[in-house]
Structure 1
């Protein structure tokens, strides 16, 4: 009769076996997505396949806009990529720098996609911890004068104060004058 293992060691062994099975499946998926002998992979297709962009057309648009460089040169969407190439992609306000480890032509899962390149990108900038300004609970009615003053103060801190409150004239313009461009008396 086989031995029954109990305790943390048995759980760790099961987890390792499951992880090994997942890695084997990922390797099979990567092999299936590999180009056949002699085939090349387009850069727009490759950056889509390894999940650097969401759609292939977005990858093509990035190439056309000059946001994709391979080995320092701007490339067209049809440029063939090879193992060892350095790909620089400016996308969503961030620059990604990757070195091609494996060529694939089909989109694969994220664990497999990560195995296809070496990521040399700088870390993403930290997200700003901004308090939600102007968010009120639903059903609380109109803001009070105190609430409006707080909202106006927060908008001024963020540089969003576009118009003065309370009917006061804008700064730099005396009360009786019209702004330039208003020709209502000429009509």
Structure 2
């Protein structure tokens, strides 16, 4: 890293003045598999910081609210800790707290999708389950 941040090694210990970019935080909190996916989502307006679109380089703050649209779901979380280190899922979950409304909304949408039956999964961009794949193959064989 030759961006002139070589002096910042000793500040890592003080978590209070730690600056974490939004793309790094989203990656550390495991909302995205890679930082570039996080970056694409932010640039595409799928991530809102305190209700507004923002830059990839935005420094996140504890207590800020993030709205993250990923696939079917929109998750609203409050940042509870800062980290730019990606660890396991249990640790990642300590970085944020999903709001009650967000949990309820997601459960409602999941229930609606289930009510639509297996077709919903096939129409969506989710990969079909083994069972759905068998149904698809069987259907295709019958069409021949």
Q: Secondary structure at the match of 1:136?
A: helix
Q: CA deviation at 1:136?
A: 2.8
- Paired position in structure 1 for 2:69: 90
Identify which of 70, 73, 77 aligns with 2:56. Answer: 77
Identify which of 106, 113, 125 aligns with 1:123. Answer: 106
- 8 Å contact 2:48–2:66 — kept in the other structure? yes
- Paired position in structure 1 for 2:127: none
TM-score of the two chains, using structure 2 as the length reference: 0.65
- 8 Å contact 1:35–1:104 — kept in the other structure? no
CA distance in 1, matches of 2:22, 2:41: 11
| Uncovered stretches (5+) of structure 2, i.e. residues with no partner | 1-10, 120-131
- 8 Å contact 2:32–2:38 — kept in the other structure? yes
- 8 Å contact 1:71–1:87 — kept in the other structure? yes
CA distance in 1, matches of 2:12, 2:49: 19
User: Which one has the bigger helix percentage?
Assistant: 2
Q: CA deviation at 1:68?
A: 1.0
Report 1:21-60 matches (<5 A): 35-37=12-14, 38-60=17-39
Q: Which has the larger radius of gyration?
A: 1
Identify which of 117, 120, 137 aligns with 1:135. Answer: 137
Q: Secondary structure at the match of 1:107?
A: coil
| CA RMSD across the alignment | 2.7
TM-score of the two chains, using structure 1 as the length reference: 0.51
- 8 Å contact 1:35–1:105 — kept in the other structure? no
- Paired position in structure 1 for 2:89: 110
